[in-house]
């Protein structure tokens, strides 16, 4: 339970918010004590280097809460223009959602349904392939608490938590003393498989420098070993760049473990093989359960990207890349994912919430986004807010705004904001846009006198869609 | 001289700190515009820290500063750059039916240049 107490050691009686939640990365550490001086956070106890930067650099941006074509406008005018843009578009795209609360994600999915939009999250360009693999082979899963207390064999594959999730090792996976691991790090074996010797590799007991673009082959070699299939040493060396004996040694250790946990990153999902790599790894974890207990989890990046998957799944049945154009949700990665929809020049309007595709997407996708009207939500100025027709500067989730986020192991965690903010939250704006969209839909339906439902008429999309 | 390498864009903690400080700030800009090269590749290309190179993929080209990778962090033939605007300019729009453009482990050529154009 969070408490807010004055800091007795300070003459100014600084406010201290205990057990605040850091939403920078998927670890979602909820044990941070924040010391607040006026409108600044001056101390973030227990936060890592990324968490400290997240909290200590926070200031409410002094830009207007709404810009239309780069000029200051009222938030109400921005809401009206946004609703008009979405309702009048033939192919609206809603994208982002990984750095906001699940309450906002839920509302955004509602808007997508009302306007018949294509909705996608940043999942599609991080662990989207993992989402596809999960549908293929399932997931042997666990909470991070279970790994902390039981995991004696920890494998990181294509992941570098020392840089991307700095407290992963110390809070969950490597150094903590657990219920069944009284000696902490000494009771665990850590293996890193990667194409380069990362900071994480330096913290491992065993580093396996797999040949670039050969994760798929390496994982299937391990699957073969898990199932006692004989392999040709020359073929394995040729395919993976690693001697068969190294893989055999790893498999022996994996079978001997009491509780194994494999964490994987975008080294698998962004490279050759993508979902096939993730599928092979998830299947390997499943295979290992014939010998001992093994689980497998993706190391999720953004603070609430796991929430985005969850909310999309419980609202639409699918985790990302969903199209509402026929009035019901359809899922097809490659067709309804944002990068493709933009690169193929299909979308004619967009709403970008807490993401920066103008900095992170391929050039063809960026070029098209720049060419269409779009709305952007972000607490800070980014290349995406700069090129937006309507740009909302919003309060920051977790620091200014309460709500719920999902940790990378699908555990929902409540936020405990520390500061007030003069900007509205994205949830307030999204709710107002949803209301305005409903109003416009009703007006359009009345005007056409054909469709009295609140949903938009879709004659333009025709039967040959 | 132009050589072909495999490029790995990825996260770094400095890049993450830069996001919180602001994407137009010095930390983010300097981190995401600096290419890490294995020491032996630096030597074979006649490069020293701070030199400029042009990277070209099938889909785009960028100009970046280079620095030698720490000790044995990179094997020869592999390049690393923190994620950002520049690394994304080298990606193609095709996602091969996954929604994910190939964002890591793609081929690039590296050509030393005297200064950015």
Q: Which of residues 108-127 of A touch B (CB under 8 A)?
A: 120, 124-125
Phi, psi of B8 (to 5 degrees): -115, 100
How many CB pairs below 8 Å do chains A and B form together?
A: 151
At residue A1 the predicted structure's pLDDT band, cuts being 50, 70 and 90, is very low
What residues does CATH 3.40.228.10 cover in chain A? 128-298
CA separation for the pair A195, A465 (Å, rounded): 43
The strand pair at A92-96 and A71-72 is best described as unpaired
CATH topology classification for B3-113: Barwin-like endoglucanases (2.40.40)
How many residues are recorded in chain A? 465
Burial (CB count <10 Å: 0-12, 13-18, 19+), residue A94: buried
Report the residue from A58, A129, A197 with minimal CB separation from B73.
A197
Asked if B15 and B28 touch (Cβ cutoff 8 Å), the reply is yes
Report the residue from A197, A359, A362 with minimal CB separation from B101.
A362
Return the pLDDT at A53: 96
Q: How many CA atoms lie within 13 A of A18 on its CB side?
A: 7
Across the range A389-406, mean pLDDT stands at: 97
Report which of A259, A249, A261, A241 is spatially closest to residue A161, judged by C-alpha positions: A261
> With b meaning 16 or more CB within 10 Å and e meaning fewer, what string describes A392-423?
bbbbbbbbbbebbbbbbbeeebebbbbbebeb
DSSP string, B38-94: -HHHHHHHT--TT-EEEEE-SS-EEEEEEEEPSTTSS-TTEEEEESSHHHHTTS-S-
As given in the structure block, the two tokens for residue B95 are 């996602």
Which residues of chain B have a CB within 8 Å of the CB of A271?
A: 102-105
Return the pLDDT at A465: 40
Nearest chain A Cα distance for residue B49, angstroms: 20
Which residues of chain A have a CB within 8 Å of the CB of B84?
A: 359-360
C-beta atoms of B104 and A266 within 8 A: yes
Choosing among 3.40.50.720, 3.40.800.20, 3.40.228.10, 2.60.40.10, the CATH entry for A128-298 is 3.40.228.10
Q: Which of B8, B41, B87, B93 to mutate to test the interface with A (most CBs of A within 10 A)?
A: B93
Q: How many CA atoms lie within 13 A of A451 on its CB side?
A: 12
Report the residue from B10, B21, B100 with minimal CB separation from A129.
B100
CB contact B21 to A (< 8 Å): yes
Tens digits of per-residue pLDDT, A368-379? 999 999 999 999
Asked if A147 and A352 touch (Cβ cutoff 8 Å), the reply is no
Return the pLDDT at A7: 56
What residues does CATH 3.40.50.740 cover in chain A? 66-126+303-393+425-461
Tens digits of per-residue pLDDT, B70-116? 988 999 999 999 999 999 999 988 899 999 898 999 999 999 999 88
CB contact B22 to A (< 8 Å): yes
Asked if B81 and B87 touch (Cβ cutoff 8 Å), the reply is yes
Tens digits of per-residue pLDDT, A288-312? 999 999 999 999 999 999 999 999 9
Q: Is the pLDDT of residue A450 over 70?
A: no
At residue A455 the predicted structure's pLDDT band, cuts being 50, 70 and 90, is low
The angle at the Cα of A217, spanning A215 to A218, to the nearest 5 degrees, equals: 60
CB contact A362 to B (< 8 Å): yes
Q: Which residues contact residue A350 at a Cβ distance below 8 angstroms, ignoring those fewer than 6 apart?
A: A92, A93, A94, A95, A342, A369, A372, A373, A374, A375
C-beta atoms of B11 and A164 within 8 A: yes
ipTM: 0.95
At residue B3 the predicted structure's pLDDT band, cuts being 50, 70 and 90, is confident
Q: Which of B90, B96, B98 to mutate to test the interface with A (most CBs of A within 10 A)?
A: B98
Return the pLDDT at A4: 57
Report the residue from A57, A164, A197 with minimal CB separation from B21.
A57
* CATH code assigned to A66-126+303-393+425-461: 3.40.50.740
C-beta atoms of A125 and B98 within 8 A: no
Which residues of chain B have a CB within 8 Å of the CB of A54?
A: 20
Per-chain mean pLDDT for chain A: 93
């Amino acid at each position: 339970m969070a408490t807010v107490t004055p800091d007795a050691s300070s003459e100014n009686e600084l406010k201290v918010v205990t057990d605040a939640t850091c939403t920078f990365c998927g670890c979602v550490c909820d044990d941070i004590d924040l010391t607040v001086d006026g409108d600044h956070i001056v101390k973030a106890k227990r936060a890592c280097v990324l968490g400290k930067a997240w909290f200590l650099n926070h200031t409410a941006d002094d830009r207007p809460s709404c810009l239309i074509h780069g000029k200051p406008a009222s938030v109400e005018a921005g809401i009206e223009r946004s609703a008009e843009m979405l309702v009048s578009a033939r192919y609206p795209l809603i994208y982002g959602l990984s750095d906001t609360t699940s309450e906002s994600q839920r509302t955004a999915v509602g808007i997508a349904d009302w306007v018949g939009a294509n909705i996608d999250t940043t999942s599609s360009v991080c662990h989207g392939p993992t989402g596809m693999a999960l549908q293929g082979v399932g997931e042997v899963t666990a909470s991070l608490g279970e790994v902390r207390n039981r995991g004696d064999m920890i494998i990181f594959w294509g992941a570098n938590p020392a840089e991307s999730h700095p407290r992963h090792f110390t809070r969950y996976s490597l150094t903590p003393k657990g219920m069944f691991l009284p000696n902490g790090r000494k009771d665990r074996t850590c293996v890193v498989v990667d194409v380069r010797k990362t900071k994480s590799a330096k913290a491992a007991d065993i580093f396996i420098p797999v040949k670039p673009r050969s994760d798929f082959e390496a994982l299937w070699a391990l699957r073969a070993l898990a199932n006692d299939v004989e392999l040709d040493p020359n073929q394995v060396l040729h395919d993976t760049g690693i001697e068969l004996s190294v893989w055999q040694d790893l498999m022996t250790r994996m079978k001997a473990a009491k509780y194994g946990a494999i964490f994987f990153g975008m080294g698998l999902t962004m490279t050759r093989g993508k979902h096939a790599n993730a599928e092979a790894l998830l299947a390997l974890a499943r295979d290992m359960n014939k010998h001992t207990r093994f689980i497998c989890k993706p190391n999720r990046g953004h603070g609430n990207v796991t929430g985005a998957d969850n909310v999309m799944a419980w609202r639409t049945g699918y985790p990302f890349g969903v199209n509402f154009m026929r009035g019901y949700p359809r899922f097809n990665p490659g067709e309804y994912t944002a990068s493709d929809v933009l690169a193929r020049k299909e979308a004619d309007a967009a709403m970008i919430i807490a993401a920066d595709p103008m900095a992170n997407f391929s050039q063809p996708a960026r070029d098209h986004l720049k060419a269409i009207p779009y709305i952007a939500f972000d607490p800070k100025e980014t290349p995406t807010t700069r090129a937006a027709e309507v740009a909302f500067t919003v309060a920051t989730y977790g620091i200014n705004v309460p709500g719920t986020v999902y940790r990378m192991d699908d555990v929902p965690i409540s936020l405990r904001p520390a500061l007030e903010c003069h900007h509205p939250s994205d949830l307030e704006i999204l709710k107002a846009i949803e209301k305005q969209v409903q109003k416009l839909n009703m007006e359009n339906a009345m005007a056409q006198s054909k469709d009295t439902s609140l949903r938009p008429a879709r004659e333009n999309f025709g039967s040959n869609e | 001289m132009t050589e072909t390498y495999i490029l790995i864009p990825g996260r770094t903690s400095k890049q993450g700190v830069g996001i919180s400080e602001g994407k137009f700030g010095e930390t983010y800009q300097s981190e995401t515009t600096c290419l890490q090269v294995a020491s032996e590749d630096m030597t074979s290309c006649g490069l020293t820290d701070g030199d400029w190179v042009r990277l070209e993929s099938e889909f785009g080209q960028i100009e970046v500063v280079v620095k030698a990778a720490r000790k044995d962090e990179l094997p020869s033939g592999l390049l690393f750059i923190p994620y950002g605007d520049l690394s994304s300019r080298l990606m193609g729009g095709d996602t091969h039916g996954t929604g994910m453009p190939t964002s890591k482990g793609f081929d690039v050529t590296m050509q030393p240049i005297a200064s950015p154009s």
